[in-house]
Amino acid sequence: MRIPIYEELVLDHFSTDYLKEKIKASKVGSLPMYTSLHNVSEAERANVVSNIEQALKELHKNPLFPYPYYIVSETPIKGTLMSVFQSVDELPSHYFKKSKRLKNKELMLLNKVGVLNEKVINMNLYENQKIIQESAVDQRSLYKQTKELNFYEEIAYLIQENEN
């Protein structure tokens, strides 16, 4: 398996059948991908995005998991599950990596990620999406609480150190 870096999914037209064929042939879900809608008129963009979402749903591919599928558009698009960015430069930077030779430990971790990726692909993510989002909210809350607790513990430790 190779390092997950962005790939662009170039779409010539946006009929649902064409989108299903193109998405099926692509690596959506196996790699982080994006589609640029700069060549689509502003009036058609919402319809195009809904067609893309419909094609993804029919192919049982989630635009969020295991790797994201982004839309690049100059104007915001409302009512979509997918993340929309104004330019390719605004996409999350952790997938902008140069391909390089990996060390053994990195290869082992990448293979583990590949196995977990296959497990996630085999799950019905549309049914489990609400559970995943609730779990993420709980994890963020726990992180904030432990971060605050750690802050107070450090202050208490520094005060005790200064008293001694």
Contact indicator for 23, 56 with CB cutoff of 8 Å: yes
Tracing tokens 């330019």 back to the chain, one arrives at 87
Tracing tokens 């989630």 back to the chain, one arrives at 62
Q: pLDDT digits over 34-47, tens only? A: 999 988 888 889 89
Q: pLDDT digits over 89-148, tens only? A: 999 888 887 777 888 898 888 888 888 877 777 777 667 778 878 888 999 999 988 998
Q: Where are the domains of the chain?
A: 7-99
Tell me: cis bond preceding 92? Omega within 30 of 0 counts: no
Contacts 24+ apart (CB under 8 A), 81-87: 81/53, 82/49, 82/52, 82/53, 84/49, 85/34
